[in-house]
Amino acid sequence: MPMRAYLRYLVLSLLGFMAITVAFTAFIDPYGWAGAPRVTGLNAMKPEAMRQVWPVKARQVVRAAPRTIVVGNSRVAYGFDPLSPAWPEHMRPVYNYGVEGGRLQDLAPHVRKAMELESVQAVFIGLDFYDFLQGDPRLEQFFNAQNGDAKPYLERVAQILFSNEAVRDSIRTIQRQGDAQPLSLTQQGYGLPGRFDRVWSDFGHYEQFRRIERGTFRQILNLDVSLPDPEDSNALHVLRRMIATAKANDVAVTLFTHPTHAEMFHGLQVAGYAADFVDWKRMILAEAAAQDIPFYDFAHVDADSIEPLPGPGDRETRMRGYWDAGHYKPVTGDRIVRAMTGPTPSRARIGPADLDAIAAANQAALAAYLDANPDSERRLREVMLSAGTIGDS
């Protein structure tokens, strides 16, 4: 065969292979990026979606054209169902812009862009104490590595449609449609909590609590981090820019803190961050008052957060409100939604004058919980002793 004809054949073959690859990955759409039809038993579940969650959510939110966006880390991602009837009709459709491991600093540029969509009328921002800790450059390096989103757009598209990884994930998507505990990402951004179900069925809630506590305290016990003054807070400056973008686009902003199991509050106390936690709330309250926006506080010890923790090896008992010490279930998310959007004022909406009384009540409730659960101290100290440095598995 003449060289010229051979080269043309080679080029056409490569182009044909690329076309087939793109057609296959776009049709299976393993990450939900292309918005292809979801066919039950073929590609309805998206178990590989979290591999490309940042570009996928940035594209999904545009297609969803939501009236309401709820923003945060994995607590939001797995705790708020956008299709729940708890959301008032006038606030639907709702998009869940929660990203596992996503700090406020990482989410902000994406959410600010989403707030410029004409359809968006309201945004609910879930705030996390750990996002406001700073001072150790290793923490920034850790999150930059975890949430790195610096790849150019075209490179992202190529990775999603052309790459060997995309083909592999498309095949895996087909193979995993029958998973008993599906991990998926819905078209409204909600992450089906298959990974929590798997850990629960294999080890039980006790192990789930141990894992999340170990990961959390690995960060704050092995790094030189603290809560800065408000004017030195990087996260607070990021929040202010988000609020400014919302106001410029006539988007109503609501701030809220996350419910947390009493075990996690105990961990903050043991780690020496109890006072910082109250000061963090004071910082947010002052900002909300200055910006004239509502703030709802769900981060306290109450009847829901003292739900009994099943013992080690118990793989039968299912907790009602929590997956682990830091992640709550959609039933708890629905309670938050109703408190923030209901027709009657909620006690969770607080002002600066309420904080000291709330902090004292929280401390008393935690003490009562520890009296009723004496094993908590021993278990938590074992968890902290086992916590390695960032990067350990």
Top pLDDT among 215 and 282 is at 282
Whether the CB-CB separation of 305 and 297 falls below 8 Å is answered with no
pTM: 0.91
Tell me the range of 12-26, 164-178, 188-202, 375-389 where mean pLDDT is highest: 164-178
Find the mean pLDDT for residues 207-219: 83
Q: What is the mean pLDDT of the chain?
A: 89
Name the least confident of 91-95, 194-198, 228-232, 297-301: 194-198
Q: 24-73, pLDDT tens digit by residue?
A: 999 999 999 999 999 999 999 999 998 899 999 999 999 999 999 999 99
Please state the separation of Cα 86 from the chain's center in Å: 19
Smallest CA-to-CA distance from 310 within 181, 180, 199 is with: 199
Tell me the H-state helices in the chain. 3-28, 53-64, 74-79, 104-114, 137-146, 153-161, 164-175, 194-203, 205-221, 234-248, 262-271, 274-291, 330-341, 355-372, 375-386
Please state the separation of Cα 100 from the chain's center in Å: 4
Q: 224-254, pLDDT tens digit by residue?
A: 889 999 999 999 999 999 999 999 999 999 9
94-98: strand order across its sheet: 94-98, 68-72, 122-127, 252-257, 295-296
Q: How far apart are CA 182 and CA 197, in angstroms?
A: 9
Whether the CB-CB separation of 80 and 330 falls below 8 Å is answered with yes
Burial group, residue 160, by CB count within 10 angstroms (0-12, 13-18, 19+): buried
Predicted pLDDT of residue 148: 53
The phi, psi pair for 123, rounded to 5°, reads -135, 135
165 band by pLDDT with thresholds 50, 70 and 90: very high
136 has pLDDT over 90: no
Find the mean pLDDT for residues 276-292: 96
Name the least confident of 139-143, 282-286, 351-355: 139-143
143 has pLDDT over 80: no
145 has pLDDT over 70: no
